[in-house]
Chains A and B, each alone.
Chain A
Amino acid sequence: MSNPRTFQIQEISAHPGPVPGAGTRLEEKVCKYIDVTTCIGCKACEVACVEWNDHPFRETTFNDTYQTMPSTEWNYYNLIKFAEDERDGNLMWLLRKDQCMHCEDPGCLRACPADGAIVKYENGIVDFQQENCIGCGYCISGCPFDIPKFHPKTNKVYKCTLCSDRVGQGLEPACIKACPTGCLKFGTKSDMVQIAGLRAKQLQEVSGFADAGVYDPPSIGGTHVIYVLHDIKRPERYGLPANPVIPPSYTYWKWLAKPIGLWMGLLGIGAVFFHRIFYGPKLPEPEVPELRTGPREEIDAGRKEQP
């Protein structure tokens, strides 16, 4: 794909005033917008996801809710989570479309030890490259949202790709295309944040949800999937962590302590090598005379370094 800026007009002959469109920039960051308040739990997005990714329909698990299965799976990237809540003494259903959040600071990528198994694109999509995955599962423990799922047959980990294959061709993700209520939108991050802000304001002012807000957690640099929630003060009600974090062992330990450890190992090898050079061997005493070529005194004097 050519850089769209290449043919941006820079100078114009005999043109009065500034160059039209100067300074315009392509917004590269993409974002998925999920308005949980208008989701009806139809699961069209689940079906679209399975179809687009060519996954077989897997067995569902019934556990007294309308949820298809307890959590997302290696071949089921997208799941509507049903939670029951109470509001003014009445039942309230919380329906949240659960999938990869495409964090700006991805814990899975920080934790991964395999070269090239996880990439993050300029547009913010975090994508797994299964051909480079070694199946260690570190990404699972690096993720604050419990999204990467291990497939025991292939020993690889899978998750939502934000339909990077569709987005690369200028299409919206499959789940967005399938959504009948418009609670899912896809566009640039700034547009989605703006729309989400307006919707949250509408919920506060018109619909009586005083605590409505946008979930775009700053603790991981924001996410490329944002939610409009009825109550931003208690995201746990929807199964979202209020303050998602990456374990420090995958950030500080990996990029600071590990190189230090390696250098110490190398220094150790160097140290024993030069120890031998500086101090010589510890031989069984007395040394065997047959090995000598001259009188003892001369050899001893030769062994001592002369100033």
Chain B
Amino acid sequence: MSSTAKDFDEKARGEFARFGTTRVRRGELLRHPVYTRFLHWSVAIFFILSLSTGFAIYSPWLFRSIAPLFGGGPWTRALHPWFGLLFEIFFFFQFLNWVTPMAWTAADRRWVKRLRAYVTNKDPLESEEVGFFNGGQKLYFWAIVLSGILFLITGLLMWFDHLAGRWIVAISYVIHDLAALLMLAGFIIHVYEGTAHQPGTFRSMIDGTVSEAWAWTHHPSWFRSVTGRDPREAYEREKQRQERGS
């Protein structure tokens, strides 16, 4: 990332921290600062608005049920590109905010190889090399980057269809749909992992904090880097403490 973008991101984080606060209690770690949370939810809101308006136009089976929520078909059509544009703008800042921790590494390649064990909850503790984001989170992030670019290009071509040709619009429409389906798949998994599947995760995007146990369980390498303690050792110590107590 260029230094200008990095400087901007640092500055934005600082400005947001002046207005918002993140209270970190004993036994908790700061996961997402105010600026990140603001970006995440702005992206989320405009993503859901774009998704709903888009799905109304995508499918005749959803048109009648979704379009009235936005004031009817013409309003749905008129709002969709603006929702999409705002999604793109906020995601651009989210991209600057996260591009460094989202860099793909050899550890992520190994994470993908262990996907089956991850999905079946085989290992209660994540591999020690999993950092701030795991391989799955990074895959989702880069899938959004890819879809975001596709959405923007094909969306503009369909928005200004009189400038593009007839066949360009017809092709853009398919690519736009495919990008949406890719994002929808990731979105379903993302929401599930962030709420029902991994309790203690959702608050990281609301309050900005997670418990230390959450950190050494799901992101051991990140736990090591912020606390300086060994994640496995911390886990064993806590286990012994609990067994003594019970």
Contacts and interface: CB of A to CB of B under 8 A. Distances in A.
Interface string A92-116: 0000000000000000000101110
B78 A262 contact: no
Interface string B173-192: 11001000100110011001
A284 B171 contact: no
Given A150-B162, A284-B213, A276 B177 contact: no
Contacts of A238: none
Contacts of B124: 282-283, 285
Contact of B213 (A142, A155, A257, A285): A285
B200 to A, nearest CB: 5
Given A286-B239, A289-B246, A268 B161 contact: no
B132 interface: no
A266 to B, nearest CB: 10
Nearest to B122: A279
Nearest to B120: A279
Contacts of B60: 113, 115
Interface string A77-93: 00000000000000000
Contacts, number: 142
Interface string B212-246: 01101110000000000000000100110010011
A240 interface: no
A275 to B, nearest CB: 7
A269 B188 contact: yes
Nearest to B236: A286
B121 interface: yes
A285 B166 contact: no
B239 A136 contact: no
B140 interface: no
A138 B189 contact: no
Given A155-B78, A253-B174, A265-B181, A141 B169 contact: yes
Contacts of A170: none
Given A280-B121, A286-B213, A286-B235, A272 B63 contact: no
A120 to B, nearest CB: 16
Interface of A: 111, 113-115, 117, 132-138, 140-143, 146, 150, 155, 247, 249-250, 253, 257-259, 261-262, 264-265, 268-269, 272, 275-276, 279-286, 288-289, 295-296
A272 to B, nearest CB: 4
B62 to A, nearest CB: 8
A281 B196 contact: yes
Contacts of B171: 247, 249
A140 B170 CA distance: 10
Interface in B120-179: 120-121, 124-125, 158, 161-162, 166-167, 169-171, 173-174, 177
A141 B216 CA distance: 54
A114 B53 CA distance: 12
A141 B77 CA distance: 16
B19 interface: no
Interface residues of B, number: 54
B238 to A, nearest CB: 6
Contacts of B57: 113, 134, 136
Given A265-B181, A282-B218, A285-B125, A258 B242 contact: no
A154 to B, nearest CB: 9
B170 A281 contact: no
Nearest to B200: A284
B184 A134 contact: no
B217 A137 contact: no
Contacts of B245: 289
Nearest to B215: A284
A272 B197 contact: yes
Contacts of B62: 262
Contacts of A111: 170
A5 to B, nearest CB: 33
B73 A258 contact: no
4 A-B pairs with least C-beta separation: A247-B170, A134-B73, A141-B169, A284-B213
Given A137-B169, A272-B196, 18 more contacts: A113-B58, A113-B63, A134-B74, A138-B169, A138-B173, A140-B161, A141-B161, A141-B166, A247-B167, A249-B171, A249-B173, A250-B170, A269-B188, A281-B198, A282-B217, A283-B199, A285-B125, A285-B235
